[in-house]
Amino acid sequence: MKILVVDDVGYTCHFHSRLVEKFGYTACSATSGYEALNYLKTDNDISIVVTDLMMRGMDGVDLFREAQTLERFTDEGPLDPPQFILMTALRLEKNSQDKDVQRLKLAKELGVAKIMFKPLDQDELEATLKDMAMGAPNTASNGKSLDLFTPTQRLKEAVKEIIDSGNAGAAEQFIGCLSEEVTSLQKFLETLETI
């Protein structure tokens, strides 16, 4: 499994690639959306993409969209699109007309698995990559594993929205239960990996 880091700012691209390597993963990097797309077309080992939002040419949202339509095949059949982490230094503000903020909102609507704000919280990044890696297809072995991260993340975000809307008590109870279930499932999957 490889993680592709995409950022058109060389320093940031290098920094995040090295960080991913220090977490124990194999990283590759691209300094544009187009270059990233070429990597995805030719390297089936890439299961996770960590991309910047604002990039000249193809931005992170366009890269996500293009990646969903890419046809990637292994000997065992078609491969799921990679999971995405979108990085941005922007902040989501209600009613903002800033076009970059609108792109960020669009990314959320399109279902990007995770949006992280720069500078990245390294613990959060490591935990997110770990969760994603557990659900990432392993092209080196037979079959595809289940993507557990994306639906779980969507559920969590849905509950957060309930909290934001004011029904805090019920929603907090629900998210607590959900987190427990996810932890149990992760432990179960770790047990499977060690067998």
Partner 1 sequence: MTRSDLASIPGNWRLINREEVLDMAMGDVEFLAEMIELFLSYVPRQMNDIKQAIEENDSQKLSDAAHACKGTISNYTKLEPFHLLQSLENDGKSEQIQETRIKFHLLEKEISLLSAELKMLMVQECGHSPSAEHAGSTQRQSL
Should residue 10 be labelled a site residue for partner 1 when binding is judged by CB under 8 A?
Answer: yes
Q: Where are the alpha helices (DSSP H) in the chain?
A: 10-22, 33-42, 60-69, 99-110, 122-135, 149-165, 168-194
In the complex with partner 1, the residue whose CB is nearer, 23 or 34, is 23
User: How far apart, in Å, do the first and last CA atoms of the chain sit?
Assistant: 20
Element of type H or E holding 79: strand 77-79
Should residue 162 be labelled a site residue for partner 1 when binding is judged by CB under 8 A?
Answer: no
**Closest distance to partner 1 from the beta carbon of 46 (Å):** 23
Should residue 102 be labelled a site residue for partner 1 when binding is judged by CB under 8 A?
Answer: no
- The closest of 76, 92, 186 to 140, measured between CA atoms, is 76
User: CA 153, CA 136: separation in Å to the nearest integer?
Assistant: 14
Phi/psi at 83 (5° precision): -85, 150
Give the interface segment with partner 1, choosing from 29-37, 52-60, 64-72, 163-171 (CB under 8 A): 52-60
**Closest distance to partner 1 from the beta carbon of 1 (Å):** 21
Q: How many other C-beta atoms lie within 10 A of the C-beta of residue 78?
A: 10
CA angle, corner 12, sides to 52 and 33, nearest 5? 35
Should residue 73 be labelled a site residue for partner 1 when binding is judged by CB under 8 A?
Answer: no
In the complex with partner 1, the residue whose CB is nearer, 100 or 157, is 100
Should residue 54 be labelled a site residue for partner 1 when binding is judged by CB under 8 A?
Answer: yes
Single residue of 70, 89, 110, 170 touching partner 1 by CB under 8 A: 89
Give the interface segment with partner 1, choosing from 42-50, 70-78, 115-123, 140-148 (CB under 8 A): 115-123
In the complex with partner 1, the residue whose CB is nearer, 59 or 147, is 59
Chain residues that interact with partner 1, rule: CB under 8 A: 7-12, 14-15, 18-19, 22, 52, 54, 56, 89, 98, 118-119, 122
